[in-house]
A and B are shown apart, each in its own frame.
Chain A
Amino acid sequence: MPMIEMKNVSKWYGAFQVLADCSTQVEKGEVIVVCGPSGSGKSTLIKCVNGLEPFQQGEVRVNGISVGDPKTDLPKLRAHVGMVFQHFELFPHMSITENLVIAQIKVLGRGKDEARERGLKLLDRVGLRAQADKFPGQLSGGQQQRVAIARALAMDPICMLFDEPTSALDPEMINEVLDVMVELAQEGMTMMVVTHEMGFARKVAHRVVFMDQGRIVEDDLKDAFFGSPRSERAQQFLSKILHH
């Protein structure tokens, strides 16, 4: 059973179709990178995985549980699907430590000490132990994003979703975030990553999904994708972003 399975997912905003018949899957321990031009539906697709975006047709299963089923306990499902956002979305009124423990306590029901210990351990892992008592507004973008990753990991996720995790960062901060993600991938975390960082894709992705106008145009093994993408649109896209 794949960790994430999407079958013929379609979604409309009014008359406008944002996702058209999208199917793909992520096996346990697999890393897939989703790329494509802006407006192609990448972010919407990844948000369908944990039900942040509803969809009208098709089926999404995470660890066998149907996301679109109204009977599914979505909060329970989401608690074990980590998500990292483009704009970090740390909670600005909480210290870094509080950001790391709040959901462990309120959602998982962990004790305060246990949650704190787990949070600080992960903070240490992303190299930010010294910032534990600061507030998000006092950290750089790269630091905030590393905290956001630690916050997601604190929930012991069965898989991780990344929605353009480096797009809002200054160039010099991108690598500190990518390093954490590469490490995670190498440890065998199941990851679905929307990104334009092709270096990251080359390094750790197993497969690359290319989207355009709401459709999945390519879904290839990494080497096949970078070697000879079959669609003209993907070739065009790659030639544009790989030149620099």
Chain B
Amino acid sequence: MNWDWQVFCKDTIDGEIVPRCFGGPGDLTYLDWLLSAWGWTLSVSLLALLVALVFGSVMGILRTTPHRGLVFLGNAWTEFFRNIPLLVQIFLWYHVVPALILPLRDVPSFLLVVMGLGLFTSARISEQVRAGIQSLPRGQRMAGLALGFTLPQTYRHVLLPMAFRIVIPPLTSESMNIVKNSAVAFAVSISELTLFALQAQEETARGIEIYLAVTGLYFLSAFALNRVFHFVEQRVRVPGMIGGGQ
């Protein structure tokens, strides 16, 4: 078959091949567009990851407290966000939420997608954080309290440092999932990689090259996150524990 990788050097308006493959101001090549789409994918993913980690951790922690009301809140949150399909949640944020909460009408759809993807993933992270805390020996909480720590201090100094170490592997998978799931953002017209692929292959009829490039960038992004988490995992290893080295 014939490869035509020069497709990325073409101008998006007149289809002429641009020398050095990068266009000037107001004059984009497909390579420019691809990189900008990659930027949107990364922005959606990283911001959604931040939202997911914050809400997921808080909700996961609440579910392990001795207070029934807080446990209920955490459980309800988790069940709500994990029992509705991701794509439907994105549409809810895009179409329904701004209709119900009027001030949200002026919020860019980019941020609505970040919230949708972030909160969807927060339910999964909440499960992992809860499981991590509950996997610790019951005596650890008691030992913290017996030393005179308040409950928040016990979480801060005793339970969470170990629980988060334990859940780094599932959190790695979850953060990689966010990159892959960010593809749903195309459904609400965020100009990210998947939307780029759909439109660019339509315009150039070079679907294979376009999809291979997009595939490579998704892989690269998810794998880079994987390496970051792996690095963190190594850094926080506890000497004398399983897998702790030394």
Contacts and interface: CB of A to CB of B under 8 A. Distances in A.
A107 B241 CA distance: 27
Contacts of A85: 139, 142-143, 146
A66 B67 CA distance: 22
A76 B148 contact: yes
Task: Indicate the member of B143, B149, B161, B244 with the most A CB atoms within 10 Å.
Answer: B143
Interface string A135-153: 1111100000000000110
Interface residues of A, number: 33
A22 B25 CA distance: 84
A93 B165 contact: yes
Interface residues of B, number: 23
A52 B146 contact: yes
SS class, residues of chain A in contact with chain B: loop
A78 interface: yes
A155 B140 contact: no
A103 interface: yes
Contacts of A137: 238-241, 244
Interface in A112-161: 134-139, 151-152, 155
A155 B244 contact: no
A64 to B, nearest CB: 18
A89 interface: yes
A186 B28 CA distance: 85
Contacts of A86: 139
Contacts of B238: 92-93, 135, 137
A93 B147 contact: no
Contacts of B146: 50, 52, 78, 81, 83, 85
Interface string A214-226: 0000000000000
A167 to B, nearest CB: 13
A202 interface: no
A180 interface: no
Interface stretch (B43-51, B74-82, B150-158, B203-211): B150-158
A134 B140 CA distance: 19
Interface of B: 137, 139-140, 142-150, 153, 157-158, 161-162, 165, 238-241, 244
Interface of A: 47, 50, 52, 74-76, 78-81, 83, 85-87, 89-93, 102-103, 106-108, 134-139, 151-152, 155
Which 10 A/B pairs are nearest by Cβ-Cβ distance?
A137-B240, A79-B148, A89-B143, A138-B240, A103-B147, A107-B148, A83-B146, A89-B139, A135-B240, A135-B239
